[in-house]
Amino acid sequence: MEFLNESLTVFADLINNAILLFGLGFIYAATNYNQSTKTKSYAILFGVLIGFMTILIMINSWKFSDKLIFDTRSVLLVVTGLFFGPITTGVAALIAFIYRLSLGGIGVYAGLLTIVSTSTLGLLWPKLRRIFPPMKPIYEYLLLGFIAHVLTVIGFLSIPWPTAFEVISYTAIPYLTFYPLLTAFLAMIVHNQKERVNAQHRIKEQQLLLQASIDATKAMEVFALDLNYCYLSFNEYHEYSMRKYYGVKIKTGDNFLELIIHPAMRARIKECLDAALQGEFKTNISMVETESEKYLEEQYSPILDDRGFVMGVTVFSQDISERKKYEQSILYLSYRDPLTNLHNRRYYTAELHRLDKPQSYPLSIVIADINGLKIMNDAFGHDAGDLLLCTIADELIQVFKNESHIARIGGDEFVILMPNTDKEHAEKYINSAKKNIEAKVLHGMSLSVSFGLSVSEGELPIENSVKHAEDDMYAHKLFEISSHRNETIKTILKTLHEKNPREEKHSERVSKICVNIGQALKMRDEDIKMLKVISNLHDIGKIAIDDAILNKPGKLDEKEWEQIKRHPEIGYRILATSPEYADIAQDILSHHERFDGRGYPRGLSGEEIPLRARIISVADAYDAMVSERPYRKPLTHQEAIDEIIKNTGSQFDPVIAQTFINLFAQQKEVIA
């Protein structure tokens, strides 16, 4: 009987504790307290409230003996840690810790461990839960409660033995059954409240967003009409627009269509409204009939009642004129070559297939390819090459007239599409363009373009006609490009000599020295003739060097010297484009290499340097030393000979240098 009374007392204490616990839960549920939206001061204040609730729970505890009390503080603190964050939990746990410490007794350490372990578990639970499989919240909170009270029971081991054994025997069943249930129920109360608060917050946000999109926008008209096109509602911007453009102050019940005066506009809008009233969602981009270059994007959406029947239509209308202009400008740029302002390959591909129709036949396809663009770039710079491209583009526009059918489809390639034009008329246009272009001169160079022609009548795929035009162009190019390249190289050399007469005299003197060395080395007549050509062309790359650098009266700075050192490579690129000069291009590239490998541009050494380049190196150096320069006086013949002797084996090939010395050392005058 005594055991039964004691058990009933314990149960009553537990119920009393639980009532206090759930009282706090219901107080929380009755408010809209949202920890995530509050400041630190609110978090501290709420922690104090929970801390004092913990004290109240401990005052109304289940007493095992004096100073050995058991209560539901573990439930309250683990739930606090889970839902209210470190500040609130820390404050509550600290208050509970201080109060329990003040009570003392043999259970003080167990009580303090309970406070620390359950608070910490609650805070860490969002990370710890990841080790368990997904589960419903109620089961998750039961698991949390069970783990929390396993830790609590383990903490009872800090009670002196054998009292600890008695306590664990006495408390294990309620702590591992009833307390996890209390934890789960309290956690669900807080969980549901947080869900309710969050849902209210989301609804409020959505309402604000909807209100903002309807009333606050200054760029979109929103209005709803019933089955008879009468207003159900509208936003302020639509009201403003109707007053501005139609001079009417609208109100609910007015017939919208009757306010639209322009017949074509009214018909267009009615068609869209009727489609929406039939259940269709319709989006339409239209140019406004009453204003040029004004575009509206309109969306018509049916309004359905709870039975699914259409009861009206909502209209969203936005002025997209600026966006449309931007899109058109982007589209224009995407189809244009930025240099020549002609159409580009993308446009040409689309236009070719658009014109590949019977109404365009005969469709003449003209391919035009510039001869000498690379030489122009190498000799005079890319600005000159760009000018060449623009000059050719302008001439094509002048002759072929219809700019919309001319496109630049590659670096130096153009195409002209000529619908309803037979071969005879197309050839007349080509001949006229060729004549006009070849009459043009740029940097002393005559311009040249190779043309190809094919006429499509629709019998074969259009790609075949394009291929035939390309083949025709390449056939013409074989005959035209060789002579044009040679003429171009001669023109470049002539231009260089006209700009800098000193270079012409220098090349002539170097040529004479090279011929003498070649003969002394018993080279073949063929190689001696080649030497003569190379010596005349060895400085052709200087055409691309700024005159101010070439004629600078003082010493060159580092940047200017780097520019000068580019001329062998430029000369190589100019000459390598022509088959007639391809053999000597390597000699031009290498004529400033040194025998010891410290020359430029590639740092070749010894016999890696072509023989003819080694001969030019000696001749070029000698003439440079004995010639007057803007920045220094010439050396005497003997001083130059001494320099060559000094640099034999380092700068100069020893055999060639010795041959030169044997030929000229005894002469008293500078070679003329």
Unique residue bearing structure tokens 């000597």: 584
pLDDT for 466 equals 93
Torsion angle of the four alpha carbons 423, 426, 428, 432, in this order, in degrees rounded to the nearest 10: -150
Helix 525-537 crosses helix 611-626 at what angle (to 10 degrees)?
A: 50
3-state secondary structure of 63: strand
Angle formed at CA 116 by CA 136 and CA 68, multiple of 5 degrees: 105
User: Whole-model pTM?
Assistant: 0.51
Residue 449, Cβ neighbours under 10 Å: how many?
25
Q: How far is CA 554 from CA 184, 239, 549, 551, 630, in A?
A: 93, 78, 10, 9, 7
pLDDT for 9 equals 47
Query: Please, which residues have CB within 8 angstroms of residue 11's CB and are 6 or more apart in sequence?
Result: none
378, 573 Cβ separation under 8 angstroms: yes
DSSP letter for 285, please: E
Nearest residue to 503 via CA among 470, 475, 539, 468: 539
**What are the phi and psi torsion angles at 221 (to 5°)?**
-90, 135
Mean pLDDT by 10 residues, the chain (672 residues): 44 56 55 60 86 83 63 86 89 91 86 91 90 89 91 88 82 85 86 78 62 62 91 88 88 92 91 92 85 86 86 89 79 85 92 92 94 84 91 93 84 94 93 92 85 92 93 83 70 76 85 92 88 86 81 83 88 79 86 94 94 93 85 85 93 94 75 52
Q: Name the helix (H) or strand (E) containing 297.
A: strand 295-304
Query: Please, which residues have CB within 8 angstroms of residue 479's CB and are 6 or more apart in sequence?
Result: none
Residue 595, Cβ neighbours under 10 Å: how many?
24
Six-digit token string for 229? 């096109």
181, 148 Cβ separation under 8 angstroms: no
pLDDT for 395 equals 93
Angle formed at CA 119 by CA 117 and CA 122, multiple of 5 degrees: 105
335, 346 Cβ separation under 8 angstroms: yes
Query: Please, which residues have CB within 8 angstroms of residue 31's CB and are 6 or more apart in sequence?
Result: none
Q: What is the 3-state secondary structure (H, E, C) of 558-579?
A: HHHHHHHCCHHHHHHHHHHCCH
Six-digit token string for 35? 């920890």
- For residue 251, which amino acid is it? K
First to last CA, the chain: 142
Unique residue bearing structure tokens 């001083």: 639
Radius of gyration of the chain from its Cα atoms, rounded to whole angstroms? 48
Nearest residue to 44 via CA among 95, 116, 98: 95
pLDDT for 500 equals 77
**What are the phi and psi torsion angles at 343 (to 5°)?**
-70, 160
Is the preceding omega at residue 133 within 30 degrees of 0, hence cis? no
Size (the chain), residues: 672
d(CA 53, CA 73): 9
pLDDT for 491 equals 75
d(CA 111, CA 142): 22
362, 456 Cβ separation under 8 angstroms: yes
| Runs of H (alpha helix) within 521-610 | 525-537, 547-550, 558-564, 567-576, 582-590
pLDDT for 69 equals 67
Question: How does strand 62-65 pair with strand 231-234?
Answer: unpaired
What b/e readout covers 433-446, taking b as 16+ CB neighbours within 10 angstroms?
Answer: bbebbeeeebbbbb
Six-digit token string for 658? 């010795």
Instruction: State the number of CA atoms in the 13 A half-sphere of 150 facing the CB.
Output: 7
- Domains for the chain: give ranges and CATH numbers: 2-198 (1.10.1760), 217-325 (3.30.450.20), 339-481 (3.30.70.270), 500-664 (1.10.3210.10)
| Runs of H (alpha helix) within 2-39 | 2-30
pLDDT for 22 equals 59
Q: Name the helix (H) or strand (E) containing 448.
A: none
Is the preceding omega at residue 126 within 30 degrees of 0, hence cis? no
Angle formed at CA 536 by CA 562 and CA 613, multiple of 5 degrees: 65
3-state secondary structure of 62: strand
3-state secondary structure of 279: coil
d(CA 241, CA 248): 9
pLDDT for 230 equals 94
**What are the phi and psi torsion angles at 335 (to 5°)?**
-105, 10
d(CA 181, CA 171): 15
pLDDT for 434 equals 92
Residue 332, Cβ neighbours under 10 Å: how many?
10
Nearest residue to 436 via CA among 486, 394, 402: 394
List, as one string, the DSSP characters of 90-110.
HHHHHHHHHHHHHH-STTHHH
Angle formed at CA 260 by CA 257 and CA 265, multiple of 5 degrees: 100
List, as one string, the DSSP characters of 361-425.
-SEEEEEEEESSHHHHHHHH-HHHHHHHHHHHHHHHHHHH--GGGEEE-SSSEEEEEETT--HHH
Six-digit token string for 423? 């071969």
- For residue 30, which amino acid is it? A
- pLDDT tens figures, 462-492: 999 999 999 999 888 877 776 666 777 777 7
